[in-house]
Chains A and B, each alone.
Chain A
Amino acid sequence: MAAAELEHVTATQARTVRRAPVASGSWHLRTLAVVAAVAVWGAGTGGLGWRPLPPALLPSPAETWHSLVAYARSGLLALDVGRTLAQAFLGLGLGMVVGTGVGVALAYARRLGDALEPLLAALNSLPRVAVAPLLIIWFGLGITSKVLLAFFTVVFVVFMNTYAGVRSVDPDLVRAVQAMGGDGRHVARWVVLPWVASWVFAALRTSISLALAATVTGEFVGSTHGLGYRMVLATGVLDTPRVFAILLVLMTVGYTVVEAARRVEAYLLRWRPEVAV
């Protein structure tokens, strides 16, 4: 991948972060939207005495809820959520650390960066879930294979963003700090670090969903615990309400984590002009 293309991709990712702040008070409408969605779902699954599809194909909200409660009572829900989240976060954390580290290192070591960039870009364009079976063969059904899958999914995205971020540091800001007598440490701390932080945050947000997706996929392919594993079991016996319940859990967990990250980001990057793009 050419450098220009790479910058385009990462710039687009960066831009998605800069969305306009939501007007306060809009939570009424938001709650209403959720309620409406559930109402439509309920109406189409027997809520109005009309049920075109059997529960095994499309369960109602109530059936899904009952399945979820049973799942929670058995104690397995907490276990599975814990397992899946632990794997996703381990992979995510590892990917963030390694991706940022390698991104910064290669951006400074320009020649090495130039040499490795096409290789890493090629690896980045590989559909990461395709290596899931291989990882299961190598590392077994346990936690390691999922952590590694999440790691592989995340690390290139983080690397690409960090690398592009360091390389795009505004030279005029560097010159400004140098002109007032600042040395390399001042430039690194006051210019490069905050500049790159906004790129890393952009990567973080996409990476959270990616890490979760990778973990669940890994659990589909082969595991003994986790939300993905439980979903495969439920699918095997056509327990569709359970599948729906797990999907709801995944959605809630994913949304909560991404939203938390967004708030931290909004606070740390509050110096940015709030432009809707």
Chain B
Amino acid sequence: MASKKRPDPRALPGDPVLRRALFHSMLLQRRFEEKVGEAYALGKIGGFCHLYIGQEAVSTGVLSMLRPDDYVITTYRDHGQALARGMTPRGIMAELFGRIDGCSRGKGGSMHLFDRNLNFLGGHGIVGGHVPVAAGVGFAIKYRGGDQVIVCFMGESVVNTGAFHEALNMAALWKLPCLFVIENNKYGMGTAVERAAAIKDLDRRADAYQGMHGEHVDGQDVFAVREATERALEICRKESRPALLEIRTYRFMGHSMSDAVSGTYRTKAELDEQLKRDPVWMMKARMLEAGDLSEADVQEMEREIKTICQDAWDFADASPEPPAEALYEDVLVDTVS
């Protein structure tokens, strides 16, 4: 089932405070990621680094619907979701810089952001591998009789892996409270989705599993994402059943930092067309039109966010490298039980 109805911009859902928070969340991700790109170019950040620019309405839309005791697990393109879940820009930036104050103590880097206090179960680097892990979290919720939900983000290329099918089958079979979110940004690295998946509407993968709700939605519209998430969460939480959302978005940057933004596997014309539907600026336009914000308010928010991002950079830069003894820590824990 697709959500066909676009909200009237003059009657935006939610209240102005909520809408402002949603916009703030998206704008923070955008500016933070731009800062990350800058730091990468200067060699402050190493290794693989996958930016989230263009997909902000997905993380903000989905995660704004969760409870604090719900769980989140995601892929290596995890900066946006970490911010939207409430992880600090300082902790994330310090992790990217490989410093001791990073959210994973400098052991994980860009692809492996974790925060136990926020039930943020990590960014994971093997395509598809974390989907069964999400089913396991759903199993544990059910085992304990809780009413939390686990949200599992994945790129669209995951739907072709065996791990995805194995996990969805078990989640449906055992009625686990798992919300599987496909972020369809159209490309698995350089391979277009239609060159990889023998199905057009990816949410129809849900049809293969009895009782699984499936839906696709415009991922550049944060309100549409929230509505679809609300419907899916209701099923997961109230009925303890899994659901599958395909959220259609677009990655404005390359796959990772070494990847040209356009020219190889997608044209500049295509990118330019997609940029017209930038989720952050679409949101801004709608809020200006609805009278939620003035240009001056946006400028003020930009200034505040600029300060936050610069503070994160300064904090990361000042944080020490992990000490030599950290090398051998966290391989095993001492058993207490």
> Do A and B associate with each other?
no
